[in-house]
Each structure stands twice: as structure tokens, then as C-alpha cells.
Amino acid sequence: MITNNELKTIKSLKFKKYRDKFSLFIAEGYKIVNELYHSKIDTEEIYSTINYEKINSKIINELEMKKISSLKSPSKILGVFKIPKNNEKIFGELILCLDNISDPGNLGSIIRLCDWFNIKSILCSFNTVDCYNPKVIQASMGSISRVSCYYFNILEFLKKSNKKIYGAFLDNSSSIYSTDFERNSIIVIGSESTGISNEISKLIENRITIPRFNNNKYPESLNINSAVSIILSEFYK
């Protein structure tokens, strides 16, 4: 049985201010919960409607699960995990920098892509969606346990960086297929709707684009997840 205090706390974790207050986030579904449970991220509590062999959980009924779930169709398991402190900022050779990415599903998919390409850290602007948003966690499919998101004033970060800076644009840019990429660099990806902000654009010396191979005006752009995937594949070829 779940207590009223537990119910209140878990439901509040849908909102960033309470995730910050309690330093907790939620994840749902066996694959994600199992991956996080066996990762370096500390577990606060696991709730499930059935017993799982390798997960120590608190058994609750389906009605209680429905009350704490963020999903329209609740799964049989929900985990509450502690947000890592990440006091030490660790960046690898290649840094992905996100400027005002607002869609949780997109950020979650980008985290998963970075995991695939072995990028351990993502630099996010303060107006990028919180990486512990439940929708981000669901879309990342457990990759949040291996990829760290750091929130910075990215304008100041880029000004101080000695790395080569690439920025993804729709026009007036060099094709990624004719660009000689340096691995020790930063890739800046902008907002889904407005692209990279003007102030940050001024710092980008190397403007890159994914060329469209048809002669039409449509589609106007690629989904941001597809664009990030294509760009990263060029860096690692």
C-alpha cells in the first residue's frame, strides 16, 4: 500500500520545481526502470503491481499505480530515483550543445543518440527542457544513466572555449558531406522552431547543413532527432 505522503511526493515530481526540491525523478516501464535500477543512479523506491525477479519493489495495486503514473496507460512498474549531483563537469572530445530545445521527446531521443555515439555529456542552455522531465526520461529509454546533461550559460561557455565550433543551419552553410570535421569540437543545435539564437550564431565560425537532394521546397526541414543523428554519423565516419 502506498501512503498519502508518498502519493503526494510522486505526483509532484511531474513538475521541475519539485524535482529540484526533492532531487528525485520518476521513470516508468520495465526496461527503463530495470536499466536505471542496475545503473550508477541511486534508487529511492520502486513500485510495482507484480513481483520482478531482479528488482526489489513495493507492491501496490493497479488503482494506486494509476494515481502515481504520468502515462495514459500506466505500466506495471514505476521507479523513483535520485538526481545525480554532477558536481564535476566532465566533457569529452566532442561536445553536443543544445540551444533552447523545448520538446521533451526530442531531448530524450537526443540523449539516446549521444549514448549510441558514446558522447558522455550534453551542454544545455538554461531554456532547454529539463532532462529529468518524465517525457524526456521515457524517450531516453535508460540512456540518461550514461549521458549527463549540464545546464550552462552556453554563450559564455562558447566564448571561453578553445574548441572548434560547428553550428547546424538550414541555409548559407557548408554541406556536412564536404566538411572535414575535427573530433575535438563543439556542435551547436538550435531550437526546433527558430534554430540557433542570434547571439550564439555570431560565435559560430563553421556553419554546416544537411543538404536536401530534391528540387522542391518541401519538406522545409528535418526532425531535429534525424538531423542530430545524421550530423553525428559524419563526425564518426
Q: What is the pLDDT of residue 214?
A: 79
Residues of the chain with pLDDT under 70: 87-88, 90
Q: What is the pLDDT of residue 87?
A: 63
User: Cis ω on the peptide bond leading into residue 219 (within 30° of 0)?
Assistant: yes
- 89: in domain: no
| C-alpha cell read off for 112 | 539516446
Claim to verify: residue 106 and residue 76 sit in the same structural domain? no
Alpha carbon separation from 176 to 5, 68, 204, 225, 228 (Å, rounded)? 53, 45, 15, 16, 12
Claim to verify: residue 185 and residue 205 sit in the same structural domain? yes
Q: Which of 82, 110, 127 is the C-terminal boundary of a domain?
A: 82
The CATH number of whichever domain residue 193 belongs to comes to 3.40.1280.10
Q: What is the pLDDT of residue 183?
A: 85
- 88: in domain: no
Tell me, what amino acid is at 135? K
- 26: in domain: yes
Q: Are 132 and 83 in contact (CB under 8 A)?
A: yes
Q: Are 30 and 77 in contact (CB under 8 A)?
A: yes
Helix (H) or strand (E) run with residue 174 in it: strand 174-175
**Domain of 159?**
94-235
- 182: in domain: yes
Claim to verify: residue 105 and residue 198 sit in the same structural domain? yes
Claim to verify: residue 123 and residue 36 sit in the same structural domain? no
Claim to verify: residue 141 and residue 216 sit in the same structural domain? yes
Output Rg (C-alpha) for the chain, integer angstroms. 20
Number of domains in the chain: 2
Q: What is the pTM of this model?
A: 0.92
Long-range pairs, 85-88, Cβ under 8 A, ≥24:
86/148, 86/150
Claim to verify: residue 117 and residue 203 sit in the same structural domain? yes
- 87: in domain: no
